[in-house]
Amino acid sequence: MTRVAIVTGGTRGIGEAISLALKELGYTVAANYGGNDAKAQAFTDATGIPSYKWDVGDYEATLAGCAKVAEDLGPVDVVVNNAGITRDGVLQRMSFEDWNEVMRINLGGCFNMAKATFPGMRERGWGRIVNIGSINGQAGQYGQVNYAAAKSGIHGFTKALAQEGAKYGVTVNAIAPGYIDTEMVAAVPAPVLEKIVAKIPVGRLGHAEEIARGVAFLCSEEAGFVTGSTMSINGGQHMY
């Protein structure tokens, strides 16, 4: 049986690597995206993975988007909640909109996707949800009270939903990436990035494919006894 997977934010960066990794393992993958039509089309043309546009922070749009994927590809067995944005700034300068948008998309998106797909997984007796958290949700980060709060919330959300899904064969786990060589990190000023890399024991940024391999394991049949866990993939930058 071919499993159907949705990867949110699945056409770029870490999400693209996850979409490709799951496809290579035989999953039927749908890649969600929020805004960049040209990038999404280029991704679909290059990979053959269909892309579906909706805002994961919009509850009704998420229900409709997941229903469309199920109609096109079959019942959704795997969800990777990867979509996320940043609106960085110290609290003094952070607007309510900057706070609210990050919470709405980064954390609210996990709730919306689970509401759309968890009941079906539970009924069928099998499912995998993997939520992409962050090292900055574990350790905090200056100028990111919104992002750190949302990502920390993802780790709590993961543990709670894991308890609901366990007896139904639905596992819920999280991955907390460190600093990965994506467009988001490339936007960090070079002097700041040098200081960040200096604090990573392995001495380099991570690669998106390294996160994707962790996701692929957690989505597999073999990971059925792993639930409620957070896998930190950060080069040793934060350990606890």
End-to-end Cα, the chain, rounded Å: 38
Given 52, 147, 168, 240, the catalytic residue: 147
List b or e across 149-159, with b for residues whose CB sees 16 or more CB atoms inside 10 angstroms.
bbbbbbbebbe
- Cα distances (Å, whole numbers) of residue 109 to 79, 131, 156, 217: 11, 10, 14, 22
Question: For this structure, is 147 an active site residue?
Answer: yes
Measure the CA dihedral 109/7/115/77, to 10°: -170
* Structure tokens, 93: 């300068």
Query: Angle at the Cα of 222 (from 127 to 115), degrees rounded to 5?
Result: 15
Write out the catalytic residue numbers: 147
